[in-house]
Structure 1
Amino acid sequence: MSISIHTDTASPDAVATALEARARRALSLEELTFSIANDAFAALAFRQALVLSSAAGSGSLLTVSGLARLGEDTPYVLWVHRLWPWLRQQLADSSGWLTLEEMAEVLPPDLRQGWEEWWPGGVFVVALPSRAGDVLGWVCFLPEHPPSPLQEALLQRVAQTWGYCWEMLTSNRSDGWLNRLKKTGRRQWMVAGVLILLLLIPVRQSVLAPAEVVSLDTTVVASPLDGVIKSMHVRPNQPVRSGQPLFSLDDTTLRSRWEIVQQSVAVADAELLAATQKAFDTPEGRSSLSLLSGRAQEKRAELAAIQAQLQRVNVAAERDGVVVFTDPDDWLGRPVSTGERIMQLANPDRPGVLIHVPAAEAVAFEVNAPAKLFLTVDPLHPQKAVISESSFQAVVSPTGVAGYRVRAEFIDTTVSARLGLRGTAKIYGERVPLVYGLLRRPLATLREWTGW
């Protein structure tokens, strides 16, 4: 709501005081510019007043007197936006009275036509300075007659207050953090410095990953031939001796073949014997003797091969150790091919750690990097180890997560950890600043989502 004070009934000081009080009560820049454009009529009678900002460089129109909302695409507003850069060059960031008659020769024709249509013969421009002297905005008054010296002095006085209020209202949004920073005391600066130093403290990168106790000296026990698992003679993690049976393949098919080939050998021997007896009487018998002899030898070789396969049906341990494999019931009746791994024969005297490091959480570490194993059965007594090898490519772990297989050796060679125990391993990598260790995962996630 505009104030109703006129120069005919009130002194200039009263008008200026009222305008300054109204400006100080403004809670936003929009409210301030509305007061400037409408309440200033008490100091200078005008047809229209426009408030422009310097934030956009060449100036942007904020408020027009008598309008609650400014249309951005009206012909009048577009013309003002084209006129103001030229008009500002004539003013050189200072207040003053300009007339169309004085600038008719230098004013572009399209701008002069708009002036003649919308504006009176002159315009009185008042700059709104900040405390540092920078111009924050302008007020263009369009009176029918030039302002008197008293009115100019009154508006110049009020312009100081308008500029101050403008600066305060805009500094709360754009420069508030800078002002607060300048007001920060010595103690706050010291606290900030200590925090920065703490963030620069070198710390060691680390990663936690699931792990299990394995043997570093293992032998693969594979199927010696194609067949079906008939029986498992041992249980998982069972200690075995050298030569102890581990599992057997079904020999039904091999024994059937052995019986058939054995009969074929008997038939070939009988034919060879008959041909040998005829060789003394007829030439035909002597000619077939070599053919039947080769056939008999072929059948004997086939029989020997089947006998060798029958001897390999029962698989025994090649050395002492512990057998490592899955549930025996999963193997019974299962067809296997030659060379397929059935189990492992591990040396329990050389335990180690197999760590499955997820690819998304991997950190840079070298061979011989330190690590710790926290067993699930004894988490309060971690076992120290050193990294011995790491896979080159990521593979799918038993949990279905892509990661790297890392092996580690226990530092204490006398540690007695049962094979198959599981837990969590902590691998230590290179030393980095604390701030990097804290922000490494968030930055990786940000890069994954943004591609930065």
Structure 2
Amino acid sequence: MTSSGTPSGLAPLDQLLTLEAKARAASTLTELVFSIANDSFAALGFRQALVFASGKGLLAISGLVRPEEDSPYLVWLRRAWPWLHECAQAQPGWFEPGLAPQSPPSGVTEGWEEWWPRGLYALPLRRRDGSELGWACFLLEAPPTPAQGWLLARLGETWSYCWEMLAGKPRASWRPRWLTHGRKRLALLLLPLALLLPVRQTVLAPAEVMAMDAEVVAAPLDGVVKSIHVRPNEMVAKGNLLFSLDDITLRNRLEVAQKSVAVADAELQAATQKAFDNLQSKAELALLNGRAQEKRAELSAVQTQLARIDVTASRDGVAVFGDPDDWLGRPVVTGERIMQLADPGKPGVLVHLPVADAITLEPGAELRLFLTVQPLSPLSARLTETSYQATLSPDNVASYRLRGAFGNAQERARIGLRGTAKLYGGWVTLGYYLFRRPVAALREWSGL
């Protein structure tokens, strides 16, 4: 031996390189254990080599492709290996029956004397973290020489590394596996049960505060808006002037109607005077009288329309409408809504529920309004009215119009405020709640 622990001469080193090359060339664990059991004969000169795997038992025997499970030798070997394993763990390396730290079981000594030589050399094969992979046992007539011991030590490292790489990551015990995978499996088992949990079906939709008892103020006749006499959300009293329509056209018509009435009266009077001595004039009296009455009716209609160009409030309330500048000079038709008169003491909520988000809702369903100005203080309300026909919302989305009445939070529900309404439907399972819309979209797409 040299001072570095390497035996003198090149023969052991050549054998080491050859055996390491064969070990690295193995593509499976079966090829590796076959090389350990057979290719090392030239370096050790053993009678027999055995390769055991931890927890699995015998893997390979030198000279045999596949051991016969029912042979007497293997039956004895399976009975002797637990004892040999304990002894090798306590004292790896050279081992003889007489030097064993523990007494052998019944029949092991007789089998040793019949099939095995003087002793065996037990070489442990371990992972890099120290855990046991297996054992390579060589049956020898005498303890290995120092050169053979050096060779076995180096080969043990190489075989251990190749075994670890071919065997892959070790399978964890049941406790770590349960801690890592058992909880996931338990969660997967509990998931179907969780989908059966009852939950309240809810939906969110844009909403605004509106008046429950509002009166529509519409244009009384065709015309152009001349002026708006109130401001948006202004409190007005009964009889207050709200807006006026332009009167130029009607006043022109009034002047023409008055002239027409004067002409008709003059013609009627002239025909009356001639009727005493002119039979033709007497015959025209009925026609001229009807024409005069027609002109007076036209005059009365124009006067009536002219009296309606100034629109006043029919009751006390709040004038609800948009920007007054949007109405000035705007043509309107009879019945077109210009504003509303709302009772501020009776506010309600108007919800535009999109058709895609619609759920089953009945009058009296719970509703909570989260105003944009007060998102942390929702207002409670109850659904009072639902529509069956979808219309376009202010956002141009097909929606159902729902109305609700507030409870005891009317002081914070100012007309015109907007926010998001949360509507509460019936109780459904969690699975239905989560997959209702995906299933509906899938059916719409597939047509099933």
TM-score (ref. length: structure 2): 0.58
Counterpart for residue 327 of structure 1? 323
* Counterpart-to-counterpart distance in 1, 2:394 and 2:196: 38
Q: Report the counterpart of residue 399 of structure 1 in structure 2.
A: 395
Distance (whole Å) between structure 2 residues aligned to residue 19 and residue 405 of structure 1? 72
Instruction: After TM superposition, give the deviation of residue 183 of structure 1 in Å.
Output: 13
Change (3 A) 1:406 1:23: farther
Residue in 2 aligned with 1:272? 268
Shift of 1:269: 1.3
In structure 1, C-alpha distance between the alignment counterparts of 2:386 and 2:298, rounded to whole Å? 47
Secondary structure at the residue paired with 2:359?
coil
Superposed displacement of residue 271, structure 1? 1.6
Separation in structure 1 between the aligned mates of residue 247 and residue 255 of structure 2, nearest angstrom:
12
The residue that corresponds to 1:381 in the other structure is: 377
Question: What is the rounded CA distance, in whole Å, between the counterparts of 2:395 and 2:432 in structure 1?
Answer: 29
Gaps of 5+ in 1: 1-17, 26-41, 43-180
| CA 23–286 in structure 1, closer or farther in 2 if over 3 Å, else same | farther
Q: How does 1:219-234 map to 2 (within 5 A)?
A: 219-234=215-230
Kindly indicate whether residue 369 of structure 2 is the aligned counterpart of residue 348 of structure 1.
no
Residues 430 and 285 of structure 1: is their aligned pair in 2 closer, same or farther, counting only changes over 3 Å? same
Q: Which amino acid aligns with 1:264?
A: S
2:384 maps to amino acid:
S
Report the secondary structure of 2:203's partner residue: strand
2:292 alignment partner, one of 291, 296, 308: 296
Q: Map Cα deviations across residues 296-352 of structure 1 (whole Å, 9 max, x no partner).
A: 111111111110010111111111111222211111111111111112211111100
Residue 248 of structure 1 is matched in structure 2 by 244
Counterpart in 2 of 1:85?
Answer: none
- 1:281 equivalenced with 2:277 (yes/no): yes
* 2:253 alignment partner, one of 257, 263, 283: 257
Report Cα offsets for 1:98-151 as digits up to 9, x if no partner. xxxxxxxxxxxxxxxxxxxxxxxxxxxxxxxxxxxxxxxxxxxxxxxxxxxxxx
Matched, 1:390 2:386: yes
For 1:149, the equivalent position in structure 2 comes to none
**In 2: Cα distance, 1:293 partner to 1:365 partner:** 66
Secondary structure, in 3 states, of the residue corresponding to 1:365?
coil
Tell me the residue number matched to 2:418: 422
One of 422, 430, 437 as aligned partner of 1:434? 430
Partners of 2:179 and 2:405 in 1: CA distance:
57
Q: Which letter maps to 1:279? A: A
Answer yes or no: is 1:368 the counterpart of 2:364: yes
Letter in 2 for 1:228: V
Query: Which amino acid letter does the alignment assign opposite residue 300 of structure 2?
Result: A
In structure 2, the CA distance between the partners of 1:182 and 1:228, relative to structure 1 (3 Å rule), is same
Deviation of 1:446 (Å): 3.1
Please give the root-mean-square deviation of Cα atoms over the aligned residues, in Å.
3.0
What letter is aligned with 2:30?
A: A
Output the TM-score relative to the length of structure 1: 0.58
Q: Return the offset for 1:188.
A: 6.3
Asked if 1:218 corresponds to 2:214, the answer is: yes
Tell me whether 1:21 sits opposite 2:30 in the alignment: yes
Q: Partners in 2 of 1:183 and 1:421 — Cα distance? A: 54
Which of 416, 431, 449 aligns to 2:445? It is: 449
- How many corresponding residue pairs? 283
- Of all paired residues, the percent bearing the same amino acid is 59
Structure 2's unaligned 5+ residue stretches are: 1-26, 35-64, 66-176
User: Aligned in 2, Cα 1:203/1:291: closer, same or farther, shift over 3 Å?
Assistant: same
Find the aligned partners of 1:299 and 1:393 in 2 and give their Cα distance: 48
Q: Is this contact kept in 1: 2:271–2:285, CA < 8 A?
A: yes
- Counterparts in 2 of 1:315 and 1:23: CA distance versus 1, 3 Å: farther
Q: Determine the structure 1 residue equivalent to 2:131.
A: none
Distance 1:183 1:308 in 2: 90
Partners in 2 of 1:319 and 1:332 — Cα distance? 24
Of 208, 211, 234, the residue aligned with 1:238 is 234
Aligned partners of 2:360 and 2:426 also within 8 Å: yes
CA-to-aligned-CA distance 1:388-439 (integer Å, 9 cap, x gap): 1111122111012111111111122644411000111100111111122122
Is 1:208 the equivalent of 2:200? no
The CA distance in 2 between the partners of 1:23 and 1:278, in whole Å, is 144
Rounded to whole Å, the distance in 2 between the matches of 1:404 and 1:219 is 22
